[in-house]
């Protein structure tokens, strides 16, 4: 069984907690129709981090999907008030 460093685990929980708290605050003061699609940007960020840190190879179809997510978030964000 692999051993994990407790500081990385606690750091991960802390970062997740900050992200969850910021989303709760955003939902309280923002529009759900704008904020929920922006929540899908986490897939984009995690893919970028996987490429930069883990040197993952991303297939072309996934890159096309990421471009669709980004363009959709931009279109929704531009048309919001």
Going residue by residue through the chain, which has 81 residues, state the pLDDT in tens, using 9 for 90 and above: 567 788 888 988 999 999 889 989 988 988 887 888 878 888 898 899 889 988 999 999 999 999 998 998 888 878 766
Q: What is the DSSP letter of 30?
A: S
- Pairwise CA distance, residues 25 & 31, whole Å: 11
Backbone angles phi, psi at 30, to 5 degrees: -115, 180
- Reading phi first (left if > 0) and then psi (alpha if -120 to 50, else beta), residue 55 is in left
Q: Contact, 41 vs 67, CB < 8 A?
A: no
- Those residues with Cβ within 8 angstroms of residue 81's Cβ, 6 or more apart along the chain or in another chain: 31
């Amino acid at each position: 069984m692999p051993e994990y460093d407790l500081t990385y685990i606690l750091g991960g929980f802390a970062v997740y907690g900050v992200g969850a708290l910021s989303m709760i605050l955003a939902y309280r003061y923002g529009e759900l129709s704008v904020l929920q699609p922006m929540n899908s940007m986490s897939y984009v960020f995690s893919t970028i981090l996987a490429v930069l840190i883990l040197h993952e190879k991303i297939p072309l179809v996934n890159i096309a999907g990421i471009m669709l997510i980004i363009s959709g978030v931009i279109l929704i964000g531009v048309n919001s008030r």
